[in-house]
Amino acid sequence: MTANRKKVAVLISGRGSNMEALIAAARAADYPAEIATVISNQPDAPGLTFARMAGIATVALDHKVYPTREAFEAALQASLDAAGVELIALAGFMRLMTPDFVNRWRDRMINIHPSLLPSFKGLHTHERALAAGVRVAGCTVHFVRAEMDAGPIIAQAAVAVLSGDTPSTLAARVLAAEHKLYPAALRLVTTAKVRIDAEKAIGFEDVNQTTVLFSPALSG
């Protein structure tokens, strides 16, 4: 088991399939992060059941019972402190954080988004990508900033858009890429393989690849 593994909280609002990918990755002896707790703002989130069955501590914080965002975030912070959390990984957490909370966790909170940011921020990314006629879609892991789906980009994965794609078929392929990308990006962050310079995430490893994705594929 890797010594001094970083304690990570995964925040979810639903099924948490990316949470499942992170939990699976963290089972490896050489993985540098420990999933210390899973927290949801939806008490009935299916992901909480999965996490409990995996032996991970869970917390349900129903945001509707708190009078303000600040009150909810105070309870959230207390849960993070109790678990000794060092990094936060958002995995389908459908709540916007206040600037104060984001700044408190600046460069220690990451998110995964189902598009190649900065394109298609927000919801309905696959519908919008298809409507725009893009030939390549994908997903992005980034450090969180106060603006929605903004912040230094840590890693991205590209997925070709197929001629017969629907939002659901495209979403399925992008999600499969997310499940590989998020654990890899969290590894980079927890091993300090990225630094922030002028609001860009700079890697300390050679990440250059010669592979080119053509969509549609070249013929001849």
Domain ranges, ordered by start, for the chain? 1-105, 111-205
What confidence tens digit (pLDDT) does each residue in 56-114 have? 999 999 999 999 999 999 999 999 999 999 999 999 999 999 999 999 999 999 999 99
- What was the pLDDT predicted at 100? 98
CA separation for the pair 50, 8 (Å, rounded): 17
This prediction has a pTM of 0.95
Helices (H), 36-124: 46-53, 69-82, 99-104
What is d(CA 96, CA 148) in angstroms, rounded to the nearest whole number?
Answer: 7
pLDDT of residue 219: 79
Catalytic residues: 113
pLDDT in tens, 112-168: 999 999 999 999 999 999 999 999 999 999 999 999 999 999 999 999 999 999 999
* Superfamily for the 1-105 domain: Formyl transferase, N-terminal domain (3.40.50.170)
3-class DSSP assignment, residue 90: strand
The predicted pLDDT at position 3 comes to 66
Going by C-beta distance under 8 Å and a sequence separation of 6 or more, which residues neighbour residue 185?
Answer: 110, 112, 141, 154, 155
The answer to whether the Cα torsion of 61, 186, 154, 45 is positive or negative is negative
Average pLDDT estimate for 188-213: 86
Look up residue 112 and give its two tokens.
């995964």
SS3 217: coil
Assigned fold of 111-205: Rossmann fold (3.40.50)
| Domains 1-105 and 111-205 in one fold | yes
28 DSSP assignment:
S
Q: What is the mean pLDDT of residues 171-189?
A: 97
